[in-house]
Structure 1
Amino acid sequence: MNVSKLILIVDDDYVYKLVTRRMISLCCSNAEIIFAENGREAIDILQGMIQGPSQRLPDIILLDIEMPEMNGWEFLRAFSSLPGQAVKDIKIYVASSSIDDLDRERTRIYPAVKELLVKPFSVNKVSGIINGGS
């Protein structure tokens, strides 16, 4: 049996979150999902988890780039300043509608970012990410 995965979806698009939740439920019945509307809320959630004695950190973060208050790039800079030992096993997938090669290059600056996914992506892609592939 697969161990339950905790997934943090950071995006301000209601429809994207709804569709992604559905895709995850189709391929990974053992996944738990939490949501953040922007990078600031996501950082606050992560800091709370790090400080909480029994809180489990996400295994995977699906991160949008264009969001109000704190965008994906600002989130990645803030994420980089979190305690390394606490967040070292979190895999981040930047989920964007951007097809700009500069964005792909920019993700390589951050070791936690495993891939830039161009929206929309398939159930098979989501399944591969959650079940250990990509």
Structure 2
Amino acid sequence: MKNKIKNICVIDDDKIYQYLTQRVISDTHLIKGIELFSNGLDAINYLETNSLDKKKLPDIILLDLFMPVMDGWSFLKNFTAIQTKLAKKIPIYIVSSSIDPIDIQKSKSIVSVTDFIVKPITKEAFLKIIKKVN
């Protein structure tokens, strides 16, 4: 089966996590592009600017919950408001260090959230995401 996933968006303020996640994704040799954002506001602005360009929009978003400027919860609120204007449907996977059952339950109540993964993301977990989305 041909891989439909070409671009991934990682929204996380931790530079070390960004680097490690990039390595995990790159090591699969399945993804062409990785967009990195350190906060939800920059990511929302990017999505709004490229809302009609399917090639620039990510195929998957990996979202942290706890970041400065705009956290993951605020990102999800803003994403919900703009998602119908986006040229394609984008599944969101929350990747967080939180193991709080309240965070996990809250994320599952948000329609645009596909799953909740506890950090760090492993190659195996990433390959499961790819398989599920494809």
User: Structures share a fold, TM > 0.5?
Assistant: yes
Name the residue aligned to 2:22.
21
Equivalences, count: 133
Name the residue aligned to 2:74.
74
Gaps of 5+ in 2: none
Gaps of 5+ in 1: none
State how far apart, in whole Å, the 2-side matches of 1:115 and 1:76 are.
13
Task: State the 1:130 CA deviation.
Answer: 2.3
Bigger drift between 55-64 and 73-82 goes to: 55-64
Task: State the 1:83 CA deviation.
Answer: 4.2
2:127 equivalent to 1:121: no
Letter in 1 for 2:92: I
What is the identity percentage for the equivalent residue pairs of Structure 1 and Structure 2? 37
Runs of 4+ in 1 over 4 A off after TM superposition: 52-55
Name the residue aligned to 1:47.
48
TM-score computed with the length of structure 2 as normaliser? 0.88
Contact 1:4/1:32 (<8 A) preserved: no
| CA gap 1:71/1:54 in 2 versus in 1, 3 angstroms | closer
State how far apart, in whole Å, the 2-side matches of 1:100 and 1:74 are.
18
Q: Secondary structure at the match of 1:132?
A: helix
Task: State the 1:132 CA deviation.
Answer: 3.0
